[in-house]
Chain A
Amino acid sequence: MSDIKVSNLRKSYGAVEVLRDINLDIGSGEFVIFVGPSGCGKSTLLRCISGLESITSGRLEIGGKVVNQVPPSKRGIAMVFQSYALYPHMNVRDNMGYSLRLRRASRAETEARVNEAAAKLQLQPYLDRFPRELSGGQRQRVAIGRAIVRDPAVFLFDEPLSNLDAALRVATRLEIAALKETLPQTTMIYVTHDQVEAMTLADRIVVLNAGRVEQVGTPEELYEAPGSLFVAGFIGSPSMNIISGAFAEGLGAPTIGIRPEDVILGEGPYQGRVTHKEYLGADSFVYLDEPVAGRLTARVPGKADYPDGTTMAFGFQPAKIHRFDATGKRLTTA
């Protein structure tokens, strides 16, 4: 049992309230990702769950037990830090076996578990090396290995890939996905600001904004039916086109949102002037200027052969229009 229940959790630093009334239910074995802009409180929430930060008020349960006052080492968690946090004066073997030595595990057990984790992460050739002798990717694998060795009920990842280059990030992301497959009973909570990581890894995503939970849902739910304007703008790259005013009113809501891939170029009731294009290989982004709606982004497959300044027709499928009320909440009916 490694389910996590967060009830009315608040965290303040003096007069500054960083987390406000957080309520979350994370099932045992679930992979949940916290996303949100910088300063939204996602790392603080993770640190509250880990026990590295105390909770100002509210309740935190792990495996059915209230752990508000339980020290981090007794919560059955392991954490992978953004900066790896490998102990520089210990080699990989000692780094990975550190928690077991603290627990006074036998030498044979420590050795066996370190070797098992090293095999899982292809770290055997590096066991006698020091962190300074490893590449960024290898260090991150050691950090994950150190967490695996503890056999935790809950895995916490604090932006584990943000120090890696783009290629390595993809490779390590796949490794984490594979790791999750091998640990089906382990609950994983992962903090990132990279929505590709969130969309590809998560069973469910928790979107945080200004210390509040904005929406919780599967990647598909968040993408297909964002509950608020904030989520609509935050999830998806390039961002959803958000249009207010007369143009939106004409489509039945104070504010509407249209994903760039749902903008149909070349046909439709509207006219826009092409201001700029970005070619990405598999597809292109076309930036349009519409006199009433303002600037819009369209995503088209392949290369967009429209000269800048061309005025062209565009439109949207009605079913793909997301409608929001004046407070930014999603309207369920058109």
Chain B
Amino acid sequence: MTDNRLRDGLLDAVTLVALILVLLPIIWVFIASIRPDADIMTGGLIPTRFTVEHFLAIFARSDFLVALRNSLIVGVVVSICTVLIAVPASYSLSRFTYLGRDFMGFLILATQMLPAVAVLVPIVVLIRSLGLTNTLTALTFTHLALGLPIAVWMLKGYIDAVPRELEEASIIDGSTQLGAMFRITLPLIRPAVIAVGTFAFVLSWGEFLLALALISKTEVKTLPLALQTLFDPYSFSWGEVMAGGVVIAVPTVVLFLLFRNQLVGGLTAGGIKG
């Protein structure tokens, strides 16, 4: 009994430490964004004065608003396209048998073996030769390429877990194979589809490296690039940088809050029992 309590206590303590390590920078960013500049580096963690001037300042900047719009456009398009491409691709890998299927699956997975930095140069060369530099299209395609492989494999795992008999029952009941996918399989893997869409959005929303390599014009910059411009050596404000950080974090936090049940379901659901 005492051993159990001790073990539970130790586990709780470890969890708490891990949680503090993860949350402390986030809390610090949020608190710093609502404190006057003077308090950010000098004051303690508990704020005594509050201000919204940093938020007003960054929202007064047209380049930041343009970047916010660009990030939203690219993020939403990437998220929707990821789902639209990953669902049929993973369904095909999971349900159909054809020549080269396993090799194709391996190739999709193999793209994850190289870090993004390793493919950065070829991607930049490719985008330049296509004349797409400094376009949101370039960002959309590259972000799609980054997130799709994981999305396909993640969804394939969930589709594999849906018993084929459910689709067969639907086919006997009068649907086609595609009809069975839409009416039976898709509703059952909905949490995973939402998870995949959310992750694609988050990945695109926070992506910096490719954006830095492909975008230089202000009118097509995304939020991570716009945030970088806040580190202006002539008029630098920690408060504005932190407020920018909060703005970048808000949509992902909202998405996770909106879909938290679905996401947890999507991450933990193993099999589906009839």
Known A98-B173, A102-B175; judge A88-B188 contact (CB<8 A): yes
CA distance A71 to B188 in the complex (A): 25
CA distance A139 to B165 in the complex (A): 15
Indicate whether A316 reaches chain B with its CB closer than 8 angstroms: no
Indicate whether A81 reaches chain B with its CB closer than 8 angstroms: yes
A113 to chain B: closest CB distance in Å? 13
Indicate whether A73 reaches chain B with its CB closer than 8 angstroms: yes
The answer on a CB contact under 8 Å between A85 and B166 is yes
The answer on a CB contact under 8 Å between B174 and A73 is yes
The answer on a CB contact under 8 Å between B273 and A132 is yes
Indicate whether B257 reaches chain A with its CB closer than 8 angstroms: no
A131 to chain B: closest CB distance in Å? 6
CA distance A150 to B174 in the complex (A): 10
The answer on a CB contact under 8 Å between A88 and B173 is no
The answer on a CB contact under 8 Å between A87 and B174 is no
Indicate whether B25 reaches chain A with its CB closer than 8 angstroms: no
CA distance A103 to B165 in the complex (A): 20
Indicate whether A52 reaches chain B with its CB closer than 8 angstroms: yes
Known A83-B165, A84-B274; judge A89-B173 contact (CB<8 A): no
CA distance A220 to B176 in the complex (A): 42
CB-nearest residue of chain B to A149 = B173
Q: Name the interface residues of B86-136: CB closer than 8 Å to any CB of A.
A: none
Known A52-B168, A79-B169; judge A85-B174 contact (CB<8 A): no
Indicate whether B252 reaches chain A with its CB closer than 8 angstroms: no
Indicate whether B38 reaches chain A with its CB closer than 8 angstroms: no
Q: Interface digits, B183-210 against A, CB 8 Å rule (1 contact, 0 not)?
A: 0100110000000000000000000000
CA distance A79 to B170 in the complex (A): 10
CA distance A152 to B170 in the complex (A): 15
The answer on a CB contact under 8 Å between B168 and A85 is yes
Residues on B with beta carbons closer than 8 Å to the beta carbon of A81 = 165, 168-169
The answer on a CB contact under 8 Å between A77 and B172 is yes
Residues on A with beta carbons closer than 8 Å to the beta carbon of B272 = 88
The answer on a CB contact under 8 Å between B173 and A52 is no
The answer on a CB contact under 8 Å between B172 and A87 is no
The answer on a CB contact under 8 Å between B172 and A103 is no
A171 to chain B: closest CB distance in Å? 20
**Majority secondary structure of chain B interface residues (helix, strand, loop or mixed):** helix
CB-nearest residue of chain B to A152 = B172
CA distance A113 to B39 in the complex (A): 73
Residues on B with beta carbons closer than 8 Å to the beta carbon of A146 = 169, 173
The answer on a CB contact under 8 Å between A52 and B171 is yes
CA distance A132 to B188 in the complex (A): 14
CA distance A99 to B173 in the complex (A): 5
B269 to chain A: closest CB distance in Å? 11
Residues on A with beta carbons closer than 8 Å to the beta carbon of B171 = 52, 71-73
The answer on a CB contact under 8 Å between A88 and B165 is no
Residues on A with beta carbons closer than 8 Å to the beta carbon of B169 = 79, 81, 85-87, 146
The answer on a CB contact under 8 Å between B274 and A131 is yes
A102 partner, pick from B166, B173, B188, beta carbons under 8 A? B173
Indicate whether B163 reaches chain A with its CB closer than 8 angstroms: yes
Q: Interface digits, A72-104 against B, CB 8 Å rule (1 contact, 0 not)?
A: 110001110111111111000000001100110
CB-nearest residue of chain B to A139 = B274
The answer on a CB contact under 8 Å between B165 and A87 is no
CA distance A79 to B167 in the complex (A): 12
Which of B169, B179, B273: most chain A CB closer than 10 A? B169
Indicate whether A110 reaches chain B with its CB closer than 8 angstroms: no
CB-nearest residue of chain A to B169 = A85
Indicate whether A50 reaches chain B with its CB closer than 8 angstroms: yes
The answer on a CB contact under 8 Å between B174 and A99 is yes
CA distance A89 to B39 in the complex (A): 54
The answer on a CB contact under 8 Å between A88 and B168 is no
A88 partner, pick from B172, B175, B274, beta carbons under 8 A? B274
Residues on A with beta carbons closer than 8 Å to the beta carbon of B174 = 73, 99, 102-103
CA distance A72 to B173 in the complex (A): 8
Q: Interface digits, B253-274 against A, CB 8 Å rule (1 contact, 0 not)?
A: 0000000000000000000111
B253 to chain A: closest CB distance in Å? 29
CB-nearest residue of chain B to A156 = B172
B222 to chain A: closest CB distance in Å? 37
Q: Name the interface residues of A135-160: CB closer than 8 Å to any CB of B.
A: 139, 146, 150
The answer on a CB contact under 8 Å between A78 and B274 is no
A83 partner, pick from B170, B179, B184, B274, beta carbons under 8 A? B274
Mark B residues whose CB is within 8 Å of A.
163, 165-166, 168-176, 179, 184, 187-188, 272-274
Taking A81-B168, A89-B187 as given, write out 11 further A-B residue pairs in contact, using a Cβ cutoff of 8 Å, ordered by the A residue number: A51-B172, A52-B172, A73-B171, A73-B172, A77-B172, A81-B165, A83-B163, A83-B165, A89-B188, A99-B174, A131-B274
26 pairs from A and B in contact (CB 8 Å cutoff)? A52-B168, A71-B171, A73-B172, A73-B173, A73-B175, A77-B172, A78-B172, A79-B168, A79-B169, A83-B163, A84-B274, A85-B163, A85-B168, A85-B169, A86-B169, A86-B274, A87-B166, A88-B272, A89-B187, A89-B188, A102-B174, A102-B175, A103-B174, A132-B273, A139-B274, A146-B169
